[in-house]
Structure 1
C-alpha cells in the first residue's frame, strides 16, 4: 500500500475510533507507522490530511447511497435513503460528527453536494405526493435524518445507550407525515 493511502486509512481509523479531538500528526503517524515528514509531504499539514479524510468519508457515503437497491415506490425509496443515512451515523458516529463539522465550517466537499443532489432527485420523483415544496421537503428530511443521527453522536454525552429503534422510526415517520399529502398516506 502506498504511503498516501496508508495515511488516509490511518486518518479514517483515528476519526472513527477517537474522533476529531484526537486527530493529531502524532496519532495518525503512529497508526500508519509513518513519520511526520511523510504526512507533510503528501498532505501539506495535518489539516490537509483531515480534509482529505473527510472527503474520502463523504465519497464512501455517497458510493453506498448510489449502490443501494431502491424500491420502485419513490416514498419507500426516500425512507430507505433516510434509514441508510442514519445507519451510517449509527455505525460511525465520530466520523459522522467530523464530517458534519466540516460541512458546518463551510468546506466545499463535492461528494456532500452530490449526496444532497441525490436527495433532491429522490424527492422530485415523488413531487405529486408531497404537501410542501420540494425544497421544504428536502429541509424536513435533511433535518430529521440529522436529528436522528445526532442521537447516536451524543449518546455518550447524554450518558445513554444508542437510541431505540422506536425513537428513530418515530422521528422518520413524523417527518414523512409532514411531507406526504393526505391522499398519499404516511406509509407506502
Structure 2
C-alpha cells in the first residue's frame, strides 16, 4: 500500500515554478509513494469561524479537510510573496487546523518545500508555513527541507522534472516523509 502524500501548492499562477515542482514530485515519487496534487485552493473562502459550523462548512473547505483526512502525509509547496507564504496557503492551513486540537492535520506528517525567484529559494515563506502547521497540530518534519533559489532563471528552459538535482532532492523529501508516515 502506497503512502498518500496530499500536496498543496501555494501558487495559483498558470505555469508556476512551484506547480512545476509539484508535478516533478508526482512524476518522480519513489516506489511506495503516491503524490496527490490538490486543486481548488482558490475556491475555498477565507476562514471564518461563523461559517465553520457542522452542516454549514463550505463544500470547498470540507473537500480539503476530507482529502487531508484520507492522506498519510502532507506536503506544502510554497512560493514566497512579500517574505511570507501566499494567503491561499495560509487559508488552507486555517481550515485544516479546525476544530483546534483535532483538525484534519492533527499529527499528520508534513513537509514544506518550494522554489522562489530570490537567492534563498523562499525559506522565509517555508519557515512561516512550518510555524503555522506546527501550531495547527501537524507533525512537521523540521529536518526535511528543500528550497530552490533563482527559480525564474533555473527553470526558464528546463522543467524541474527534467532537472536531475531537483529529481534527487524531491525523492529524498518524499522518502523522508514516507518513513515517518509508515512509522505512525
User: Under a length normalisation based on structure 2, what TM-score does the superposition of the two structures give?
Assistant: 0.33
Q: Which has the higher strand share?
A: 2
* Larger relative contact order (CA 8 Å, sep ≥ 6): 2
TM-score (norm 1): 0.32
